[in-house]
Each structure stands twice: as structure tokens, then as C-alpha cells.
């Protein structure tokens, strides 16, 4: 417990290089809690500050911790085209309510190589017409790639938005065979 009687959540983190640039992976005892795109030093430091304020305690760099070592191994296999699903415990504590419901449905119901429309995903969670709210949920996803918000697209065929940038979304969809590989 900290000095205020609150339980601090031990957060460990590592940065791993991937086919879409460096990713910050953070985990608690419960599981992987955060994946952050474009993890340059400045982005990493801001993300770690946010985690400290949300979960308490100072995050500790620990790439050899069992959960992070396994996560890094699975990310390497995913980007090498050798893995289609992540089999990691997840800590959902950074998200709640409707957003958590949508992200859990996305994680369990939209497999590798498939896409779903924002409106279709809203319907799957019993909220037809909430496509815009689904877009907000995708934007607040603390576990991108593992919870595959890149697989959510516009119903009229557009790629939609993406917190990691549209080029990153295109690369992930190309990796999964949904889009052709970029020419350059």
C-alpha cells in the first residue's frame, strides 16, 4: 500500500522493435495493460507518466519479466507472419463501460485477416446506430494490435481512422492479407 492506503499496481515495461516501429509494452500482475505505438523516448516517457498516474507506482523497465518476455516473443512471431492470435493475459483496468464491452467483442469476435465495420461492431454489442461511439472506443483502445482495432473499417469501404496513424493501419492490414502490401 502507498501512503494514502491505496494499493499500488506494479507496472513493468519494455520497448520492442516491430515491423511498424517501436512499441511500448506495459504489464501488471494481471496481464498486458498497454501497448503504445511509435515509442520514441518522448512518447515512451509520456506513456509511462500516464501509467504511473492511472495505476500508481513508478513503472519499472523489465523486458525479462516473464509476461513481457512472452509478449515480445508473440509480437515478433506476429510480425514475422508466424502467429495470428495473441495468447496473453490482459489487464482491462485502463478501460471500462461501453468501450470495454466493444473492445472485448472485437478481441474475441474479429479474427486475423477479417475486418468489421464500425456500425456492425456496434450492432454486435446491442447498440445499433452507435458507430460513432465505436470509433471513440477504438481511439481509446489501450491494447492496440492485441485487441485489433486496426480491423475496424468504414462500412462504405474506407479504411477509417487509427490512433497509430493510417500508414500503420495499412501495414497491419497488409500483414494480415486484408490489403495488398504497399509498393513503397
Contact 93, 51 (CB under 8 A): no
- Cα angle: 124, vertex 126, 130; to 5 degrees: 90
Q: What are phi and psi of 89, to 5 degrees?
A: -70, 140
User: Using the 8-state DSSP alphabet, how is residue 42 labeled?
Assistant: H
Q: Is 149 a catalytic residue?
A: yes
Catalytic pick among 107, 149, 172, 173: 149
Which of helix, strand or coil describes residue 58? Answer: coil
Cell 468504414 belongs to 154
Cell of 122: 456496434
The neighbour count for residue 174, using CB atoms within 10 Å, is 14
Q: Catalytic residue positions?
A: 149
Amino acid at each position: 500500500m502507498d501512503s494514502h492506503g491505496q494499493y499500488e499496481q506494479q507496472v513493468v515495461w519494455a520497448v520492442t522493435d516491430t515491423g511498424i516501429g517501436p512499441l511500448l509494452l506495459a504489464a501488471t500482475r494481471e496481464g498486458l495493460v498497454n501497448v503504445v505505438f511509435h515509442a520514441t523516448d518522448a512518447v515512451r516517457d509520456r506513456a509511462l507518466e500516464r501509467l504511473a498516474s492511472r495505476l500508481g507506482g513508478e513503472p519499472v523497465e523489465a523486458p525479462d519479466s516473464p509476461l513481457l518476455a512472452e509478449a515480445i516473443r508473440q509480437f515478433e512471431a506476429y510480425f514475422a507472419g508466424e502467429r495470428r492470435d495473441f495468447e496473453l493475459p490482459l489487464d482491462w483496468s485502463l478501460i471500462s463501460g461501453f468501450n470495454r464491452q466493444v473492445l472485448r467483442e472485437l478481441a474475441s469476435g474479429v479474427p486475423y485477416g477479417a475486418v468489421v465495420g464500425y456500425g456492425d461492431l456496434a450492432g454486435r454489442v446491442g447498440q445499433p446506430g452507435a458507430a460513432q461511439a465505436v470509433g471513440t472506443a477504438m481511439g481509446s483502445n489501450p491494447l492496440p494490435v492485441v485487441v485489433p482495432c486496426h480491423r475496424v473499417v468504414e462500412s462504405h469501404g474506407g479504411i477509417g481512422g487509427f490512433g497509430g496513424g493510417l500508414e500503420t493501419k495499412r501495414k497491419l492490414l497488409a500483414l494480415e492479407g486484408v490489403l495488398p502490401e504497399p509498393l513503397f
